[in-house]
Structure 1
Amino acid sequence: MRRTAIALVAHDAKKDAMAEFAATHRLKLSACDLFATGTTGARVIERCPELQVKRLKSGPLGGDQQIGALIAEGRIDALIFFVDPLSPMPHDVDVKALTRLGLVYDIAMALNPVTAEMVLAMIEPLT
């Protein structure tokens, strides 16, 4: 049985929240294969150095598309994407494409911490 694969993405104003979320849920996340866009991954690793996070490119430099490709390949089970609805996003098209892929491929997708906790609660630990 393969490990659950989770992609972590956070807008700039939500990166601290993502790092804190990872710290709070480090035990559950340590049982998963984690992928993250560049800066988000760096912040999570800085806060939780024990977590193994595969860092991709920064979102605006192609990281969103890299995660989208992993979703399309069936390699991601859940997307945790802390969205900042109050800040304009210069790469909004990329963000919409990523969430669209999450919907098309029917993966669990959380856009805020409360929903992310619900997604993590559904993950069964490996035996």
Structure 2
Amino acid sequence: MNQVTKKKYRIGLIANRSHQDAQDSALVQLIRGSRHAISFLQPEFVVVGRTLDTMIAHGLMEICTQVERFPYGRDGGLMKLVSRVVDHDPLKAVDAVIYLIDPVDPSSIFPEAVALKRQCVIHKKPFLATLASAREWLELEAHSAGAPPDISLDHSFKLQQEGIALIAHDAMKQKMLLLAEKHFALLDQFKHRYATGTTGGLLNQLAQKIKGEDAGRDWVKPYLSGPLGGDAQLAELVLDREIRRILFLEDPHVARQHEADIQLLERAARTVTEFAQVISEADGVDHWLSNLGKRVDASEHRDQ
């Protein structure tokens, strides 16, 4: 039944040069490490120029059998991918974007690269900028559609050993509270929860309502607000591998005076690309948390 009803995905794919060439590059690790999920989902990849050349050179086309080639980045391939994010034609639009970003590659801050992420957030599509985020997304989508779990990833689903950051811009704080309440039992399994500024206080109030005044008081460890450096504090925890997952509900429609701090936190996740991930869109967070819960349950049942 799952084979008949599972969603057919079109996925944009691009990797910065340092994530392409080596035999153990992030691109190679992603495709070879996600072989079972890709085989099950059978997505079509929309691949920008040089990334596809590299896939062919590494013999990855036996795994990614359905591919549409886009031009090289210098010829507008990344710009065309932005257009496919916003396209309403289901035969042309992409459902998600995997952009393996090297944080020191200057092309990652070109206007088309910034626009790609922004339009993914606006149009409620996953923007997967690290190896960890892309591997986990493929695993969760495949498992949710009926594929058996990839046991090689079980270690990252032991939430009692994991830290998670919960961050929301002012206009998104109410959505964060609703998401936290809906998925409270899952979030409560994490060893540590971190937040910036006001969001942390609001989440602790929610936890006190659910768990009781004493038990919920320190449910989240709050840091400084984003404009005062909280994003930088959390970035250090990401680099120290104390935070694997960052739920960062962004408001893409307002100017943000501390944009550099936001980029710093994302840059930290991209620096430890095989470990950390950022999820930035509210509906995507809801979907991800639902699928994460299913995958965690599968790991726990196998351990029993």
Aligned counterpart for 1:122 among listed residues 292, 296, 301 = 292
Identity of aligned residues (%): 30
Equivalent in the alignment of 1:82: 249
Question: Which is higher, the Rg of structure 1 or of structure 2?
Answer: 2
RMSD after superposition? 1.8
- 2:164 & 2:183 partners in 1: Cα distance? 13
8 Å Cα contact 2:250/2:280 also seen in 1: yes
Question: Does residue 212 of structure 2 align to residue 53 of structure 1?
Answer: no
Equivalent in the alignment of 2:175: 17
Normalising by structure 1, what TM-score?
Answer: 0.89
Aligned partner of 2:164: which letter? I
- 1:58 & 1:46 partners in 2: Cα distance? 17
Aligned partner of 1:110: which letter? I
8 Å Cα contact 1:7/1:35 also seen in 2: yes
SS at match of 2:161: coil
Aligned partner of 2:286: which letter? E
Paired residues, number: 127
Q: Any gaps of 5 or more consecutive residues in structure 1?
A: none
8 Å Cα contact 1:108/1:119 also seen in 2: no
Equivalent in the alignment of 1:8: 166
- 2:261 & 2:238 partners in 1: Cα distance? 14
How far does residue 91 in structure 1 lie from its aligned partner after superposition?
Answer: 0.4
Matches within 5 A, 1:21-40: 21-32=179-190, 33-40=192-199
- 1:122 & 1:57 partners in 2: Cα distance? 28
How far does residue 118 in structure 1 lie from its aligned partner after superposition?
Answer: 4.3
- 1:17 & 1:11 partners in 2: Cα distance? 10
How far does residue 48 in structure 1 lie from its aligned partner after superposition?
Answer: 2.8
> Which of the pair has the greater relative contact order for Cα pairs under 8 Å at 6+ separation?
1
Aligned partner of 1:92: which letter? E
The C-alpha deviation readout for 1:75-105, integer Å capped at 9, x for no partner, is 0010000000011111011011111112221
Equivalent in the alignment of 1:44: 203
- 2:286 & 2:244 partners in 1: Cα distance? 15
Aligned partner of 1:63: which letter? G
Q: Which moved more, 1:5-14 or 1:105-114?
A: 105-114
More helix as a share of residues: 2
Q: Which moved more, 1:14-23 or 1:100-109?
A: 100-109
Question: Does residue 271 of structure 2 align to residue 96 of structure 1?
Answer: no
8 Å Cα contact 2:162/2:242 also seen in 1: no
Matches within 5 A, 1:99-114: 99-106=266-273, 107-114=276-283
Normalising by structure 2, what TM-score?
Answer: 0.39
